[in-house]
Structure 1
Amino acid sequence: MSDALPPWRPLLRGARQREGRSPQARWLQLATLGSDGSPRVRTLVFRGWAGACQLDLLTDRRSEKSAELSAEPRLELCWLLPKAKSQFRLRGHRLLLNADDDQSARSQHWQQLHPGARSLWGWPQPGAPFDPLGDFPEALGDAVPLPETFELVRIEIQQVELLELVGHPHRRRRWRLDQDWAEERLNP
């Protein structure tokens, strides 16, 4: 696969830039298939690009989404950028990395997080019954070792749809990896 950026990447970058410093510009929704066959949607934080068509998200290995992605790696992301009036739908699958690459990437992401963000991996298991006496640290400093529950979710994107909610009619386009990212216009 080429390392050249696909044509939708500059469009996504431009839309994100129009959001300014808004933290919402980094939030995207992850759609997975639940263990019971029902659809599940969660909001996650974009953590960066790992390649031209690969992006990184982080999760807690103890969460349901971790098990769901292990059982069914296909997924879709929705990245709504309201100031740009753009919705990007990214379809792909979770990539499994070899142990060395996974450990290296996890360590790098762990070091890039501020202590308050790291604290989430020191909390009790996500989705378990709440214990008011549970330990919920506010921060995990640099000396705290990388927890085994700190999981990298690297996604390889295979299709992108962009819906631009401007003009009449709105504009909708699609790019697919198996078609060398050729642009295709669609009805909105």
Structure 2
Amino acid sequence: MSSSALPAWRVLLRGAREREGRSPAARWLQLASVGTDGTPRVRTLVFRGWADAVRLDLLSDGRSAKAEELATQPAVELCWLLPKARSQFRLRGRLELPVGADLLAARERHWRQLSPAGRALWGWPPPGQALDPQAAFPGELADGTPLPPHFLLLRIAVQQVELLELSGTPHRRQRWREATGWQCEALNP
């Protein structure tokens, strides 16, 4: 497969997301990872786009526990439930951090694409710390606000995808793996 060709699962995912219409939930997915203590963690993040055919971008606060956990154990699984399409996509992969100029360019691009309200999250106090009633939680960070050092780009390199289609009886389940050239495998639901 050429680097510009989309694997079949990407085409199916795009179609399922389109059936969600303008629902914000079409951009929400759950990130499953392993905590530094070895226990599971699940968080909801916002899909920010594709870096290429099999790498997707998410954003996080580098001061969060998630950043340390992913540095320790970069293997993750994403669950993307698209209710109108009655489809669940599970994407397994690894965190990849772009380096050098590529990293800075990607971070800057994502930062500029955020709305002022979206950027505001990175102006808040560090996540997970005790709440200080006097702390400022800005509602917006204006265009032109410098990129904060804790603005973290999470690039996930997808290695396996499972699709569970929840319509019909029986449900349909398929798997694609990078190791097999993204060949489709039919599975029991």
Specify the code of the residue in structure 1 equivalent to 2:38: G
Distance 2:182 2:144 in 1: 44
Distance 1:62 1:98 in 2: 19
* 2:13 is the counterpart of 1:12: yes
Identity %: 63
Specify the code of the residue in structure 1 equivalent to 2:158: I
After superposition, give the CA deviation of every residue in 1:142-182 in whole Å (9 maximum; x if it has no partner): 12100001010001000000000011110000000000000
Specify the code of the residue in structure 2 equivalent to 1:102: L
Aligned to 2:101, the other structure's residue is in SS state helix
Aligned to 1:147, the other structure's residue is in SS state coil
Counterpart residue number, 1:44:
45
How is 1:63-142 mapped onto 2 (pairs within 5 angstroms)?
63-142=64-143
Which deviates more from structure 2 when the two are superposed, residues 3-12 or residues 170-179? Answer: 3-12
- TM-score, length of structure 2 as denominator length: 0.98
What is the aligned residue count? 188
Distance 1:119 1:53 in 2: 29
Specify the code of the residue in structure 2 equivalent to 1:39: P
Tell me by how many angstroms 1:88 deviates.
0.0
Which deviates more from structure 2 when the two are superposed, residues 109-118 or residues 92-101? Answer: 92-101
**Runs in 1 of length 4+ with deviation above 6 angstroms?**
none
- TM-score, length of structure 1 as denominator length: 0.99
8 Å contact kept, 2:97–2:153: no
Distance 2:163 2:51 in 1: 21
Residue ranges of structure 1 left out of the alignment (5+ in a row): none
Specify the code of the residue in structure 2 equivalent to 1:4: A
After superposition, give the CA deviation of every residue in 1:63-90 in whole Å (9 maximum; x if it has no partner): 0111111111100000000000000000
Distance 2:8 2:111 in 1: 30
Counterpart residue number, 1:162:
163
Distance 1:143 1:165 in 2: 44
Specify the code of the residue in structure 1 equivalent to 2:82: L
Distance 2:71 2:5 in 1: 29
Distance 1:104 1:167 in 2: 45
Give the RMSD, CA atoms, in angstroms.
0.7
Tell me by how many angstroms 1:99 deviates.
1.9
Counterpart residue number, 1:184:
185
Distance 2:134 2:111 in 1: 27
Counterpart residue number, 1:22:
23
